[in-house]
Chains A and B, each alone.
Chain A
């Protein structure tokens, strides 16, 4: 409540000194300064940045079911899942600033059971969202006393920080930190190695052109095969990577079951236990939005605008070429990310993904999505050598948003099933 009392000069100063989080202006937000590096990186895309910040501030600051210390602690849990100490540090600070109990920062053993119970869905959402099922929600609501509104708020925070961690690692923001610290980097094996680009930008553009002329129809088997095959070529990469550091960072106390990581939705030759998620049956626009807005007021609009912006944003450039219709390329990236999480768009020919996304790019995208902690700064520099810096950031934005949408779709579908 802002009162006319404050119009009086003396009172203004008193109020300012008394009230720690009074913000004279919307922009004067101490958070922002800490987010500086993210903001600078996203600054290449100001339209997006604006939406990102308003969502970000809304879920941490705006009206919502959860108290502030919970929000920050959940954010810490989410970022810790991907060992993103940059985000964890910021959130720790914010947590304390908003009256959080510093004992909680010693780890999950010291937090209320209610928060701790969130650990399970944090783990699942972060790595294999398709495993989430109704029983998780029932356990949280029945045993751990979560209301659905609180739970949806928590889910949004989790998804937001998981995907933000992807962005932070994908753009190499995390490693810019303390240069003197024993850099994780050294231990990281570059995902990409030193790959020669398989496809040059002009070839890529040519392919997009031919694709848009050609119309094919495939049998459902062929389509499904394509959907499944999209992912397979990268598995070799992942196997190599799985040798890499089994996590040594100091964030272990915020998470449990560190061995739990991403696993391919459907491995080659295996018939999965989990049905493919069909976007045509549960889409963000129809169902996801309606549900999230119901349980967590207004956030639906913010997320909706952000997803739309990330999906539709284009500058019609590609690696220095102008007036390029990039829609196919962008759609391929978006759908590839959804595909990695087992979400299928009926009206998409997944053959396009393999044509448009070269192997190294797929490896990079998949890593930022699923194992962001393994992505090294140099990966960002190496991937897509011909692309502009801002275009690479653009790709990372899409990774972030597509991943968040995928997580939310799974989570909200389960919540909806729970509600009926």
Chain B
């Protein structure tokens, strides 16, 4: 191959070039720009300047080139498109210093493109910003035909290599026009190819394809086999507006492109594999302004705004695909997983992949030997999903006293068989809803909760072990899905109780006693206490009062319902409960004295938040973010001390995402509304616009909500009073009639059917 020895090289100029062109045997290159216009001989290791055309005493804007073309027959003829609207023909053979042969001043605006006919050496076509294309015959130095595109500007014109008289023109409004040279009055066919200006087009040298490149960041390949029915064969999305494209010679599916902004590389695409470039040349420091193949599929030349002219050879190209991650994995909301990977072309591997769902067609072409397979694994955990959905729907997160919410949610969880979760709710209720009297008094009695913890009388470790024993004996409903439920002993000695233990303890209680008995124990103890200690309270400092009594009032209501109860439990529900259990498994009342003796006076203010926090952490870590987030929501103000805000936000966001995946928009909105983190509440503050349409013409109302510019009449009148409704407009979902809130309300008190008389039985809640 003649160019086998070509290598990557460059030459730096005094200014950026806007375009380049090669002569017919690819031995010379001309580059043209605002301040540069030169011809180079391409040697094997350097560019050698042959001629500088930017000479003469009268250098004007005719030298400022947007584009340059080299005549395919006459080695010495060049044409340029000037920014001032001139089309200039140059003759390198001219004996004078200035090689300018002729200037056509026929365009009124900048000329964007010039193009020589491939078989008729004297025909030159230009496309201009003024929206016209002109065909010049430079034997007679005249415009032979003018084609009016009826668009704002023509960005590129290219003769078809297959049909002598056909050329394609692309314009700023996204249209492609196909013209017959002999019929200047009307184009053969026109179609919209892109949603933005098209900057370049290129005919495929062998097939009937036309590639177009646009500002909308795509390259499209159109099959124009039947000229009236263009078919979009391929779309290549790119990362930036595409400025130039050129098909790669001898490679049917390859095309080179350069971007207009941002992306400085010259990319070679295989049209069958969009999204990732087949090869790219990253030598330029600024965007490339022109690309041209050197007649060989392995050598390409490009100019750039970084003032350089480069020759790139394929062996130095970067191969982005080799760096791309060949695997992908994704989960859906049901826990199904899909996995895709590149597979080797060896068909033997296929048999090993029984889950194969889809396989892209395999290409034999060596440049496109990419196949991938996708496997989908269905999750069996349908039950969990169902639980999640039900819980999300039925949990109550606000609007009621904490205790009721907890009860409700615990019941929901229990019904769905999630006993652990149910117990968490129970514990939350227990810890946060029981009267704080105990706390108040304890504060006075013992200086710190830790002291009492260390008290040997209580022996937390021993108690725990004991209870653990019971636990294993008495509970056989070891929740499945809790892998680490059993081995708990190692945590027993730490102060932070493992939440699981707590759950488990309670569950043992629950098996033996009524579920609310737990509350019973903890709740009423304090009640009794309260009465006794009221006097103490009064004597307490106001500050303490304040601190301790800011509980929601509902806590008191609860208390009154529970009247004669055992004296207080204590701060360590676990241990006490377990002890009770061990000693007198069945008789709640009998333990009263026991409790009194052991716990009460010593047990002091104990902050349950640690336990709750670790319980929630546990749930969140075992991928049950729902419980964690819901408990936080229900806890309201009390959550602040529990968990740091960042984690809270993560949980809520995680829950929201799950809800979103399951399309539980209502729940999600509730969560957002009741969440306390600014970053989350603001999710609901965005896009709060509800566009409405005119009731008569169904067009969107733009300027105001009650006047349609199109039909010039008021919209949204009240169906009752026929006045314009400004402000709250309430309407029936069924018939979409409505009006003032009050009017509709009154009307529906007395009537059943729609006030508009449409016969619909309106329904409001």
Contacts and interface: CB of A to CB of B under 8 A. Distances in A.
Contact of A3 (B103, B666, B703): B666
Across the A-B interface, the 10 shortest Cβ-Cβ residue pairs: A25-B705, A27-B704, A220-B60, A346-B83, A290-B241, A280-B83, A27-B705, A3-B669, A347-B110, A28-B705
Contacts of B690: 2, 23-26
Interface of B: 34, 58-61, 64, 66, 82-85, 103, 105, 108-110, 129, 172, 196-197, 199, 215, 240-241, 243, 260-262, 264, 285-287, 665-666, 668-670, 672, 683-692, 700-707, 709, 726-730, 733, 741, 744-745, 764-765
Contacts of A7: 733
A13 interface: yes
Interface stretch (A72-80, A281-289, A365-373): A281-289
A97 interface: no
Given A281-B34, A290-B261, A25 B692 contact: yes
A294 B261 contact: yes
A21 B685 contact: yes
B764 A23 contact: no
A26 B689 contact: yes
Given A3-B666, A13-B741, A24 B705 contact: yes
A27 B215 CA distance: 32
Contacts of A13: 728, 730, 741
A4 B701 contact: no
B672 A1 contact: yes
Contacts of B264: 420
A323 B593 CA distance: 106
B683 A1 contact: yes
A1 B685 CA distance: 8
Interface of A: 1-5, 7-10, 12-13, 16, 19, 21-28, 32, 46, 50, 53, 63, 215, 217-220, 223, 278, 280-281, 285-287, 289-291, 294, 346-347, 416, 419-420
18 contacts: A5-B669, A9-B765, A10-B765, A24-B705, A26-B691, A27-B703, A220-B58, A223-B60, A278-B34, A280-B34, A285-B172, A285-B197, A286-B199, A286-B215, A290-B240, A290-B260, A291-B261, A420-B287
A420 B172 CA distance: 26
Chain A CB within 10 Å, residue with most, of B703, B705, B706: B703
B66 A280 contact: yes
Contact of B261 (A28, A32, A217, A416): A416
A12 B668 CA distance: 17
Contacts of B733: 7
A53 B670 CA distance: 33
A26 B61 contact: no
A346 B110 contact: yes
Contacts of B684: 1
A8 B706 contact: no
A286 B701 contact: no
Given A4-B666, A9-B764, A291-B261, A16 B58 contact: no
Nearest to A304: B196
Contacts of B730: 9, 12-13
Contacts of A217: 103, 105
Contacts of B669: 1, 3, 5
Contact of A287 (B108, B261, B666, B670): B261
A26 B60 contact: no
B701 A25 contact: yes
Contacts of A16: 727-728
Contacts of B744: 9
A50 B702 contact: yes
A259 B745 CA distance: 62
Contacts of A27: 692, 701-707
A54 B243 CA distance: 29
A215 B670 CA distance: 71
Contacts of A289: 196, 215, 241
A374 to B, nearest CB: 33
A280 B240 contact: no
B118 to A, nearest CB: 28
A346 B691 contact: no
B108 A26 contact: no
A1 B287 CA distance: 41
A1 B672 CA distance: 10
Given A53-B703, A217-B103, A289-B196, 20 more contacts: A2-B690, A5-B669, A7-B733, A8-B764, A9-B730, A10-B765, A13-B728, A27-B704, A27-B705, A27-B707, A32-B704, A46-B709, A217-B105, A220-B59, A280-B34, A285-B197, A285-B215, A289-B215, A290-B240, A290-B260
B536 to A, nearest CB: 42
A342 B295 CA distance: 43
Contacts of A12: 728, 730, 741
A329 B199 CA distance: 29
Nearest to A289: B215
A401 to B, nearest CB: 16
A420 B16 CA distance: 15
Contact of B109 (A4, A5, A25, A347): A347
A291 B240 CA distance: 9
Contacts of B683: 1
Contacts of A346: 61, 64, 82-84, 110
A420 B60 CA distance: 31
A16 B700 CA distance: 22
A92 B273 CA distance: 52
B383 to A, nearest CB: 27
A220 B704 contact: no
A220 B35 CA distance: 13
Contacts of A220: 58-61
Contact of B705 (A26, A290, A291, A420): A26
A25 B84 contact: no
Chain A CB within 10 Å, residue with most, of B83, B243, B261, B286: B261
B704 A347 contact: no
Contacts of A22: 688
B152 to A, nearest CB: 8
Given A4-B666, A27-B704, A346-B64, A287 B691 contact: no
A13 B261 CA distance: 49
B702 A347 contact: no
B666 A5 contact: yes
Contacts of A25: 689-692, 701, 704-706
A294 B262 contact: yes
Contact of A215 (B105, B215, B702): B105
A296 B478 CA distance: 55
Contact of B688 (A8, A23, A32, A285): A23
Nearest to B215: A290
Nearest to B241: A290
Nearest to B239: A294
A189 to B, nearest CB: 38
Nearest to A26: B691
Nearest to A345: B110
Contacts of B215: 285-286, 289-290
A147 B58 CA distance: 47
A2 B85 CA distance: 53
Chain A CB within 10 Å, residue with most, of B34, B61, B707, B733: B61
Contacts of B60: 218-220, 223
B110 A24 contact: no
Contacts of B672: 1
A8 B731 CA distance: 9
Contact of A1 (B240, B665, B703, B709): B665
Nearest to B195: A301
A220 B64 CA distance: 11
B110 A280 contact: yes
Contact of A2 (B64, B261, B688): B688
Contact of B687 (A1, A219, A419): A1
A210 to B, nearest CB: 15
A285 B173 CA distance: 11
A273 B239 CA distance: 36
A381 to B, nearest CB: 28
Contacts of A420: 262, 264, 285-287
